[in-house]
Amino acid sequence: MTRVLVTGAAGFIGSHVVEALEASGYEVAGLDLRSGDDVRDSAVLDRLLPEVDVVVHQAAKVGLGVNVADLPDYASVNVYGTAVLLAAMAEHGVGRLVLASSMVVYGEGAYECARHGRVRPGPRSAADLSRGSFEPRCPRCGESMAFAAIDEDAPVDPRNAYSTTKLAQEHLAANWARETGAMATALRYHNVYGPRMPRDTPYSGVAAIFRSALEAGRPPRVFEDGGQMRDFVHVRDVADANVAALTRGEPGTLTVYNIASGEPHTVGEMASALAAQRGGPEPVTTGEYRLGDVRHIVAAPHRAAAELGFRARVGFAEGMKEFADASLA
């Protein structure tokens, strides 16, 4: 029987991955900081890895980062922790990795300019955001653009502590695969939501922040004008993608996949859907912004469908109905 080590096994996504793997007949070992096991501890890895065939690496410090003071923690957990893990995998002959990556490595999503075709705008300026000018404009002509789905071959452009360290994880995994002949797969999750999502903290995803506000009887506070386009993907679909990726890959390479629903919605639509399911209060659009945020980022999910056989099964309406009353961590 294939034995899988899941790092971050007690976390939001990791716990669902463990359940999906066990339901698929895999033998699963878990590693999680909550139970005292740190992925940065070589002794822990030396104890766990000798009987392991594949590692599913979910452990990470998540969120965009609150300020520059977060940089050491992100680098320590996400970058150094992954380096320690990969070195230990090489030492113990573990030759397959599934890595939890993120759509944040892209920066802004893809856009189409009527005059210049597919373009990638740079970061939005504080001056534009302060005056409520939220939509990026064509970097060549300054005209308005339409958002487009982004695929895995798009250039990366990380813009905050979290995205920078997630991209570093991909690079380290690629180094490890090339030097050892192992197989590595990186799953670039889009906006994951669902049961056991972390409750209202500065690092929570927007879905949990909205849910927590509604649970407390407060209106969800929607930043900018609520028109930010995202691909919200249910955590059970993400877990299924990890199972699908377990047996895929090419020796000596890292392969990346968007893991998404293929059904984009705005942040405002999510807030309204959750409020409607819980009977209010209605969301409040604040005009506030964060410099680390991007305007639109939606995925082209075709590669995962073609190569992994992965297609999201939980639709937006169904997922919002469940999430409105789901338990949070």
Mean pLDDT check: name the lowest of 32-41, 146-155, 190-199, 236-245. Answer: 32-41
Beta pairing class for 229-230 and 265-266:
antiparallel
Tell me, what's the pLDDT at 35?
79
At residue 201, the pLDDT reads 63
pLDDT at 66: 57
Percentage of the chain exceeding pLDDT 70: 98
Would you put residue 252 in left (φ > 0), alpha (ψ -120 to 50) or beta? Answer: left
Band of the pLDDT at 65, cuts 50, 70, 90? Answer: low
Among 67-71, 131-135, 145-149, 167-171, which stretch is predicted with the lowest mean pLDDT?
67-71
Asked if pLDDT for residue 167 goes beyond 70, the answer is yes
Q: If you average pLDDT over residues 285-311, what whole number do you get?
A: 94
**Is the confidence at residue 204, as pLDDT, over 70?**
no
Residue 216's contacts (CB-CB under 8 Å, 6 or more residues apart) are: none
Among 101-115, 192-206, 224-238, the least confident range? 192-206
Does pLDDT of 99 surpass 90? yes
- Between CA 257 and CA 102 the distance in angstroms is 10
In angstroms, the CA 62 to CA 202 distance is 10
The tokens of 203 are what?
């690092």
pLDDT tens across 9-54, in order? 999 999 999 999 999 999 999 999 887 789 999 999 999 999 999 9
Task: Give the angle subtended at the CA of 203 by the CAs of 103 and 158, to the nearest 5°.
Answer: 35
Higher-confidence position of 292 and 327: 327
pLDDT band at 68, cuts 50/70/90? confident
